[in-house]
């Protein structure tokens, strides 16, 4: 089975056939940087990172563009409330997002354009729309005329134009031909940043930014446009309208990840229920948080709870435990070992990570049995399968990304612990269990967990 993806625009699972054979292009709506990221934001980054890794593993050359919206109404409001320039707010929070993506193991984008660096492309797009009769200037603003595109507008979100509410994106609705028209450009206001245009100084509207950046880096027609489900309308609907009305083919597949909720409400800064990434990685390790966000199907919603987070961490640790124990027996892993067909089929079926991880856990169970039997040939095969699957998901515990702090000192710690374990083994041999337990407890107090196995005692840092 070849890769099939759910396309929001057709509301169907479609075979992925790229615009250019052997190449895949992805545009992901990135951060609007008015605040630091919570797990609802970063879920999108993790989900589309898995897609990108799977495309790479499937042999595609991938161009991945993830934008930064660094000027917006919300950013301006935060800067006014804090009494600092807008760019201070944007820069501070962009760094927080970059740290969060990196911390959760997301590959860096091929290109990460900022909205403020692409005003010339936005002006060109507006000129094309005005020339085609799909946009108009009014009072220093520029608006998209939705009635001029009525036959197509609303198809992505499955809405009819007559049922839509006003865009409500400007203080003076009398400037519009129709209250549903949306702003492409907003005229200058006192104290706000501005850029010059043929229609006067001002700043870009949110939707215009993404269309200009996507087509600059991926071309007038590209493969996949992604983002959170909450962006379907109005943001993505408006992107399609302004891009296709200007004559671009734009995105051929639209993918939307589900939201993270708390108590059935979407996680948001306005609700005050944000779970910020620095706080989350104090509760579980970053790799465990990635597992938590990647394990559900990308289109499903996640109902956040501490219990579910800890269950995900425990599930990952079971995988990690096998990999760690097996690597002590098998030192050279076949990185070219084929992936289990069931794993391949799961990811080809609309990126089915729950089914893919079920395959991982089944292989791990087989691997633990092989370890207990001392079947090194089977252990080698199952370890290679496990690590190769985890690499696709960005979860391989042996990758440099997830190496534990202090792991470079492992040979030194090995030698010191080996002495203690020899003393413990000798104590057990003479049935001095009190002394053996005291040695184990001393190691535990030092942050070292000892496990007795059929192959002898082994240790790891206490989690």
Question: What residue ranges of the chain are covered by domains with CATH 3.40.50.620?
Answer: 4-257
Q: How far apart are CA 395 and CA 59, in angstroms?
A: 20
How much of the chain is helix, strand and coil, in % rounded to 5? 50, 20, 30
Kindly report, as residue ranges, where domains of CATH 1.20.120.640 are found in the chain: 306-402
DSSP code string of 50-88: HHHHHHHHTT-EEEEEEEEE---HHHHHHHHHHTS-HHH
**For residues 39 and 319, what is the distance between their CA atoms, to the nearest angstrom?**
23
Which pTM does this prediction carry?
Answer: 0.89
The residue among 408 and 100 whose pLDDT is bigger is 100
**Is the model's pLDDT at 126 over the cut of 60?**
yes
pLDDT in tens, 414-424: 665 566 666 77
Tell how many helices (H) and how many strands (E) occur in the chain.
14, 15
Q: How remote is the C-alpha of 25 from its chain's centroid?
A: 16
Domain covering 4-257 assigned CATH 2.130.10.10 in the classification: no
Alpha carbons 97 and 103: distance in angstroms, whole number:
10
Whether the per-residue pLDDT at 456 is higher than 70: the answer is: no
Q: What mean pLDDT do residues 213-232 have?
A: 98
Domain 306-402 has CATH 3.90.79.10: no
Q: State the Cα–Cα distance between residues 371 and 329, nearest whole angstrom.
A: 9
Helix (H) or strand (E) holding 457: strand 456-461
Beta bridge partners of 152: none
CA 113 to chain centre: 17
DSSP state of 253: E
Cα three-residue angle 32-45-334, rounded to 5 degrees: 160
**Contact yes or no for 391/399 (Cβ under 8 A):** yes
* Per-residue pLDDT reduced to its tens digit, 152-180: 999 999 999 999 999 989 888 889 999 99
């Amino acid at each position: 089975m070849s890769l099939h993806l759910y396309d929001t625009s057709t509301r169907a699972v479609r075979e992925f056939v790229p615009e250019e054979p052997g190449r895949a292009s992805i545009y992901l709506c990135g951060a609007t940087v008015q605040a630091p990221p919570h797990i609802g934001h970063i879920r999108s980054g993790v989900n589309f990172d898995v897609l990108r890794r799977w495309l790479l593993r499937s042999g595609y050359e991938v161009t991945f563009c993830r934008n930064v919206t660094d000027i917006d109404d919300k950013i301006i409001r935060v800067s006014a409330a804090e009494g600092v320039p807008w760019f201070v707010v944007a820069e501070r929070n962009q760094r927080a997002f970059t740290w969060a993506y990196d911390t959760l193991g997301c590959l860096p984008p091929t290109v990460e354009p900022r909205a403020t660096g692409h005003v010339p492309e936005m002006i060109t797009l507006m000129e094309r729309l005005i020339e085609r009769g799909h946009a108009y200037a009014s009072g220093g603003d520029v608006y998209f005329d939705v009635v001029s595109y009525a036959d197509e507008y609303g198809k992505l979100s499955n809405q009819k134009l007559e049922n839509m509410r006003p865009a409500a994106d400007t203080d003076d609705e009398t400037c519009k031909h129709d209250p549903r028209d949306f702003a492409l450009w907003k005229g200058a206001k006192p104290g706000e940043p501005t850029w010059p245009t043929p229609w006067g100084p001002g700043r870009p509207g949110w939707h215009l930014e993404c269309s200009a950046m996507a087509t600059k880096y991926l071309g007038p027609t590209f493969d996949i446009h992604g983002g959170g489900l909450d962006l379907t309308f109005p943001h993505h609907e408006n992107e399609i309208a302004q891009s296709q009305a200007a004559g671009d083919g734009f995105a051929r597949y639209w993918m939307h990840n589900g939201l993270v909720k708390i108590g059935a409400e979407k996680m948001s800064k306005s609700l005050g229920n944000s779970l910020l990434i620095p706080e989350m990685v104090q509760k579980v390790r970053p790799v465990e948080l990635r597992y938590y966000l990647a394990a559900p199907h990308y289109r499903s919603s996640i109902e956040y709870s501490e219990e579910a987070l800890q269950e995900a961490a425990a599930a990952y640790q079971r995988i990690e435990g096998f990999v760690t124990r097996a690597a002590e027996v098998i030192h050279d892993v076949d990185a070219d070992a084929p992936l289990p067909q069931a794993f391949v089929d799961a990811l080809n079926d609309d990126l089915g990570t729950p089914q893919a991880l079920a395959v991982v856990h089944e292989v791990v169970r087989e691997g633990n049995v092989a370890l207990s039997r001392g079947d090194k040939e089977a252990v080698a095969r199952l370890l290679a399968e496990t690590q190769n699957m985890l690499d696709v998901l960005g979860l391989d515990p042996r990758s440099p990304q997830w190496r534990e702090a202090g792991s470079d000192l492992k040979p030194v710690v090995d030698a010191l612990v080996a002495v203690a374990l020899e003393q413990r083994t000798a104590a057990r041999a003479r049935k001095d269990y009190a002394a053996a337990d005291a040695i184990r407890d001393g190691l535990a107090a030092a942050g070292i967990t000892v496990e007795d196995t059929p192959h002898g005692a082994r240790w790891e840092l206490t989690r």
